[in-house]
Structure 1
Amino acid sequence: MSQVLNGKRVAILAADGFEESELSSPRAALQGQGVETHVITPDGKGIKAWAETDWGDTYEADKALSSANASDYHALLLPGGLFNPDSLRTNDDALAFVKAFFQAGKPVAAICHAPWVLINAEVVNGRRMTSVPSVAQDLRNAGAKWVDEAVVVDNGLVTSRTPKDLDAFNAKLLEELSEGRHEGQHA
């Protein structure tokens, strides 16, 4: 698969308080297949991880959201955590950036609490999805069909529940990225 993915670029949109494994594990899986990844933060500064029960490492940003363009990337990764998606879902620039991937039919992968961002971007209605259980009702209220499965794929939209699902999440992210644009992916 690595030949198919060489030259692909994935944007990783995150803010302080992202769940560390939900950024580091997918990024390692992507980079292991020759994919270039860019960590994009609201202000272009480093972001502090949450590592299960306490603050983790600081991750350097590759770009500020204001200088990032969805057309430069083949897919979008949204790590979860509690603080990160709660911050991003109220950031109009982040929501516009996310929505641009859906409008272009590009794969988007969101795990844990990250579907909160997708709800506020208004891209979940009618979609089959999963998340951490505490976000299930929010997804249902926004019109998504929530299921309790390790990973769910719906026309280029990849969702998972928690870090214990990362192996399945990473595999589906790579698969969707290799497939490219999805006609059923929509805003």
Structure 2
Amino acid sequence: MADPSDDLGRHNPRDPFDPNFLPNRWLPRIEVLQWKAGVHPDQLSARRRQREDDERSSRSYEHLSCEDAKLMLQHDLYCEAINVKYDRKDKSTRLFLSTQIKLIDHQIKLIDHKFKLATLGGQLMFFLCFSITCFGYIFLLCYSGHYYTPLGLLLLLSLMVCWIEYQQRPVPQAPTL
């Protein structure tokens, strides 16, 4: 009888980690590198079993009857369709919300612009009415022969307008964090 330690070319399936058999004879290259790196043998065998299960599951349609294969294929397609539908729904919801936020931001800017325009229009109308009234009053004073009174009123009115503009200037605010 031949000594089993002399037969290095054969693989003993009952003892895969026999020191007489080098791992590069019966392991794929990836597992040899993992074995050299110190990966535990149980991990290697578990990964090998998982790869075999994956190969078996990919061939699962071939071993089934025609009706079962069609049913499984329809089920897989239905699951994929549901995933695509909800993925699209999530994307469309996100797009819809971002569009709504942009629309609200645009409406706020528009309302702010309208408010500033209305305020400016009100100020212009006030100054127009005030200047027409003052011009009429000064014209009547000049017509009646009081020349120095209108000059004093013009100086007083210009000081009042400057003071009103000074009071309406924007107040600097402290920066917020």
Q: Normalising by structure 2, what TM-score? A: 0.17
Query: Which has the larger helix fraction?
Result: 2
Query: Which has the larger strand fraction?
Result: 1
